[in-house]
Amino acid sequence: MARDYTGQLIVHNDPKAVDSEAFRILRTNLQFASLNEDLKVISFTSTGPGEGKSVVCANLAVSYAQAGARVILIDCDLRKPAMHSFFGLRNNVGLTSVLTGQKDIESALQDTQCENLRLLASGPIPPNPAEMLHSSVMQKTLAEIKGHADKILIDAPPVLPVADAMILANYVDGVILVVGVKQAPKEMVLRAKEQLTSTNARILGVVLNKVKFDRGSVHYYYSYYSANDNHG
């Protein structure tokens, strides 16, 4: 039975939470990182599994949508797809359905509970994920999807276990590496970075995930945020 990740969609569930503000800061930082160009397609990956790349990708997508952008979120983890579980949607139709010609893009896209945000789930898991992603059909599909959205966020598999993230890095405007604090050893993070740069990937930055704050720090942050919010 698929896990339910809807509770981790913090930007939608609790927009005034500290974590939600962190995603808005990330959104703003990405905007400042591309003043002279439009970072329209961004992929998210990690060193290994369980570091929270899907959580970051899903919440940032919601943040962009809340700011008024038309967003399409694509689950390109064709091995262990999870993005549909964040939105309580089905996974029987998705990217693989489009790549195999069973569905067109519009019929494969699903509306989410978040205005301006649509999901292209992974679809049925194929026997050859890397080959499907490394194809002219995938490039053509992504080029067509660009005409349907202002922002496209891609949830890619981890870098080290499989080649998929490096393949996808060639199709996007930038890559964000999500690192779980005290989870990914430094040497493994550096290895992941080297593998991405070897494919000429543009690494936009690193998101440190699973950072623990002490209670006093969180209280100060809430007080500061609330004070600014009350004054517009």
- The answer to the question of residue 1 being in a domain is no
Residues of the chain with pLDDT > 70, as a percent, come to 89
pLDDT in tens, 115-128: 999 999 999 999 99
Give a yes or no: residue 52 inside a domain.
yes
- Residue 53 burial (CB count, 10 A): 30
Question: Which pTM was predicted?
Answer: 0.88
37 lies in a domain? Answer: yes
b/e sequence 158-186, b meaning 16+ C-beta within 10 Å: bbbebbbbbbbbebbebbbbbbbeeebee
Residue 156 lies in a domain: yes
Residue 117 lies in a domain: yes
Angstrom distances, CA of residue 199 to CA of 7, 33, 102: 35, 21, 31
Report the CATH number at residue 103.
Answer: 3.40.50.300
Buried b (16+ CB within 10 A) or exposed e, 59-86: bbbbbbbbeeeebbbbbbbbbebbbbbb
| Number of domains composing the chain | 1
Specify if 39 maps to a domain.
yes
pLDDT grade for 32, boundaries at 50, 70 and 90: confident
Domain, as residue range, for 173:
6-230
Q: How far apart are CA 34 and CA 16, in angstroms?
A: 26
Q: Tens digit of pLDDT for each residue in 85-111?
A: 999 999 999 999 999 999 999 999 999
- The neighbour count for residue 199, using CB atoms within 10 Å, is 14
Cα torsion angle, 185, 189, 192, 194, sign? negative
The DSSP element (H or E) to which 219 belongs, if any, is: helix 215-230
pLDDT at residue 212 is higher than 90 = no
182 has pLDDT over 50:
yes
Report d(CA 150, CA 193) in Å as an integer.
27
